[in-house]
Amino acid sequence: MVVALVTAFNEYFSLALGEYEIAQIAYDIERKDLALAGGKQDQYAAAFGGFNFMEFYAGDRVIVNPLRIKEWIWNELEASLVLYFTGVSRASAKIIDEQSRNIREGRTDSLEAMHRLKQEAVQMKEALLRGDLARFAQVMQSGWEAKKQSASSITNPMIDELEALAFANGALATKVSGAGGGGFMMFVCDPAERVRLVRALAGAGGTVYDTHFTPHGASSWKIG
């Protein structure tokens, strides 16, 4: 939302800001001005759009590397993903605060989990570029297992039950979107198993949403 607002002001005031500037301003508003805990990948993803490998360095230095994903890989991945809203909202900042606190207190399991997530981002990029969606699913599931080690509130009995239900109905991997604890869950499956998985999840009381990728980030224009 903040990226969209900054993009609208950029157009209205003819500021000529690029994607990097828009993403950084949105990050500063959310993380510094409003003091909401979190990273900065969401702002850059919204500003740039498409498939990217993003590198975050000290001092607000960010490099966004666009990935040239072949059309058949793009289509196959869309057909393999199922996005499910659990019906439960959560305060993501609290979960991120717990992750940060674990790192500050020297919790080695949390720190090792974060290192694993960083390594798996590289592995996922390679699997995606090669069109190896079986490997993509393996890495995603491994990343989810690592993420659960970074904070106790990332998962709960409801999420565990939904994960078990999904795997019993064709899912190959799962992940809770964002900080965890509720909200949206994403599943990877063989496209041939998609209908069975969607029916099972719909019967669990949540809502299944269509998933489509966009090649473009936030955009704005003047009327008249």
Handedness of CA 158, 159, 164, 169 (dihedral sign): positive
Kindly give the pairing relationship between strand 81-85 and strand 207-209: antiparallel
Could you list the beta-strand ranges (E) of 33-136: 52-56, 62-66, 81-85
Tell me the catalytic residues. 42
The Cα–Cα gap between 167 and 147 comes to: 18
Tell me whether strands 81-85 and 184-189 are parallel, antiparallel or unpaired: antiparallel
Gap between the Cα atoms of 218 and 199, Å rounded:
33
Largest Cα separation within the chain, whole Å, is: 58
